[in-house]
Amino acid sequence: MLDFQLSEEQETLRKTVEEFAREVVAPQAFASDESGEFPYEVVRQMGGMGLFGLPFPEEYGGMGGDYFALCLAIEELARADSSVAITLEAGVSLGAMPLYRFGSEEQKREWLPRLTSGQALGAFGLTEPDGGSDAGATRTRARLEDGEWVIDGSKSFITNAGTDISCLVTVTAVTGLGVGGRKEISSILVPVPHSGFRVSKKYSKVGWHASDTRELSFEDCRVPEENLLGEPGRGYANFLSILDEGRIAISALGVGLAQGCLDECVAYAKEREAFGYPIGRNQGIAFKIADMEMRAHIARLAYYAAAAKMLAGRPFKKEAAIAKLYSSESAVDNARDATQIFGGYGFMNEYAVARHWRDAKVLEIGEGTSEVQRMLIARELGL
């Protein structure tokens, strides 16, 4: 307890990914942000390094690490490029993790090796055009007919579903009515491409330009009955637990972005001069940077603490919500201050801080909005 020093292996992993992010990820970030093209080559190399397999056992092609190792990798990638970091985060914690946690042995053997090697990507379709926060309000339906699930409905803002290497979407759908007329929600695996399943063209987004985000539609989309993931009617509970973990990973992403802003500002404040001396000598600038350091530091401790609880098998819902909330708000704050410190250059897309500023906002929205995190924390306090 009271020691958040990384172990030697964790530190080596962190350093390796830091080096990769500096040498490979950062140099392509501006171009793929401008073009909106998915960074296939970077993802291929990340696959080679085993990043998509970090928290999975070797029998499924994983690296035998844990969820915290994944978070360290996500943080380092996000220091350079959030689009790349979210591709890993969503690929692992939304794409592969539901299969690993709830899949049958057969499903795991069929899908996990491709996902954990990064050769293919899985997506998780929960949010719908009519609502994401109220996930229980799912309208997509699936009915059993002649040994097949017939899926109808649509999903919005889904990450990693429309790339050339996307191979699978896990969708939540209403599969019946339970006791008291409550909707029974289940998760179903849909291999892609698949007849009756369509991905829209990419959204035009404020940030995360190189990350793949699509609207999905299902129209008489038929998959075998065995494609049910986990028990029928457990879909809702299952994805809530997946989202709890995912919040720690999103928190790591926010910390990375907050740290990336800080790195840029420390260097810039020493080198940029106004009135004949470096702007960092003004307290107005130095104090902003001190606050940025404070936020990144506390946010990091928050996700380390949540991950420690999770890996110890203790309840971590509240800690995960706190980490996600604080990190995403810190990311937005740091990005805002960083663009300010960069002055006019901070408004130019060529500068990393401008991209960080556009990439930060979605962290307060995706995988549970800040309001939802506050709801969760309040609920844990019995309110």
Partner 1 sequence: MNIVVTVKQVPDTWAEKKLDPSDMTTDRATVDNVLNEMDEYGVEEALLLKEAHGGEVTAVTMGPDKAVEAVRKALQMGADKGVHLCDASLHGSDALQTASALAKVIAPLNPDVVIVSSEASDARGGVVGALLAEYLGLPQLTLARKVTADPGGGTVTIERQTDNGYATVLGKLPVVVGVIEKINEPRYPSFKGIMAAKKKPLVTMTAADAGIDPGSAGPSGAYSEVDEAQPRPPKAAGQVVKDEGDGGAKLAAFLADQKLV
Ligand X SMILES: Cc1cc2nc3c(=O)[nH]c(=O)nc-3n(C[C@H](O)[C@H](O)[C@H](O)COP(=O)(O)OP(=O)(O)OC[C@H]3O[C@@H](n4cnc5c(N)ncnc54)[C@H](O)[C@@H]3O)c2cc1C
**Site membership for ligand X, residue 126 (CB under 6 A):** yes
Interaction site with partner 1 (CB under 8 A): 9, 12-13, 16, 19-20, 45, 48-51, 53-54, 58, 63-65, 69
**Site membership for ligand X, residue 56 (CB under 6 A):** no
Using the rule CB under 6 A, give the single segment among 36-44, 179-187, 313-321, 360-368 that binds ligand X.
360-368
**Site membership for ligand X, residue 136 (CB under 6 A):** no
**Site membership for ligand X, residue 218 (CB under 6 A):** no
**Site membership for ligand X, residue 208 (CB under 6 A):** yes
**Residue 175 or 211: which CB sits closer to ligand X?**
211
**Site membership for ligand X, residue 213 (CB under 6 A):** yes
**Residue 19 or 134: which CB sits closer to partner 1?**
19
User: Which parts of the chain are beta strand (E)?
Assistant: 121-125, 141-145, 148-159, 166-177, 183-191, 197-199, 213-224, 228-229, 273-274, 277-278
Per the omega criterion (within 30 degrees of 0), is the bond before 193 cis?
yes
**Shortest distance (Å) from residue 157 CB to ligand X:** 3
Residues 6 or more apart from 354 whose CB is under 8 A from it? 339, 342, 345, 346, 347, 348
**Site membership for ligand X, residue 249 (CB under 6 A):** no
**Site membership for ligand X, residue 140 (CB under 6 A):** no
User: Which parts of 35-140 are beta strand (E)?
Assistant: 121-125
- CB distance 336 to 359 below 8 Å: no
- For residue 228, what are the β-bridge partners? 188
How far apart, in Å, are the Cα atoms of 122 and each of 24, 164, 222? 24, 12, 18
Residues 6 or more apart from 234 whose CB is under 8 A from it? 102, 186, 187
**Shortest distance (Å) from residue 129 CB to ligand X:** 8
CA distance 381 to 209: 37
**Shortest distance (Å) from residue 352 CB to partner 1:** 18
**Residue 54 or 362: which CB sits closer to partner 1?**
54
CA distance 322 to 266: 27
Among 28, 82, 83, 159, binds ligand X (CB under 6 A): 159
Q: Is 165 helix (H, G, I), strand (E, B) or coil?
A: coil
**Site membership for ligand X, residue 200 (CB under 6 A):** no
Task: Find which of partner 1, ligand X, none residue 157 binds, CB within 5 to 8 Å per kind.
Answer: ligand X
CB-count burial class (<10 Å; 0-12, 13-18, 19+) for 128: buried
- CB distance 187 to 239 below 8 Å: yes
Known catalytic residues?
Answer: 367
**Shortest distance (Å) from residue 54 CB to ligand X:** 19
**Site membership for ligand X, residue 133 (CB under 6 A):** yes
Alpha-carbon dihedral angle through residues 42, 361, 332, 23, given to the nearest 10 degrees: 10
Among 124, 197, 218, 316, binds ligand X (CB under 6 A): 124
- CB distance 356 to 36 below 8 Å: no
**Shortest distance (Å) from residue 29 CB to ligand X:** 17
Residue whose C-beta lies closest to ligand X: 132
How far apart, in Å, are the Cα atoms of 276 and each of 211, 268, 282? 42, 15, 12
**Shortest distance (Å) from residue 188 CB to partner 1:** 31
**Residue 284 or 382: which CB sits closer to ligand X?**
382
Task: Find which of ligand X, partner 1, none residue 65 binds, CB within 5 to 8 Å per kind.
Answer: partner 1
Q: At what angle do helices 67-80 and 82-89 cross, to 10 degrees?
A: 160
Q: Is 313 helix (H, G, I), strand (E, B) or coil?
A: coil
**Residue 63 or 126: which CB sits closer to ligand X?**
126
**Site membership for ligand X, residue 271 (CB under 6 A):** no
Binding site for ligand X (CB under 6 A): 90, 94, 123-127, 131-133, 157-159, 208, 213, 362, 365-369, 371-372, 375
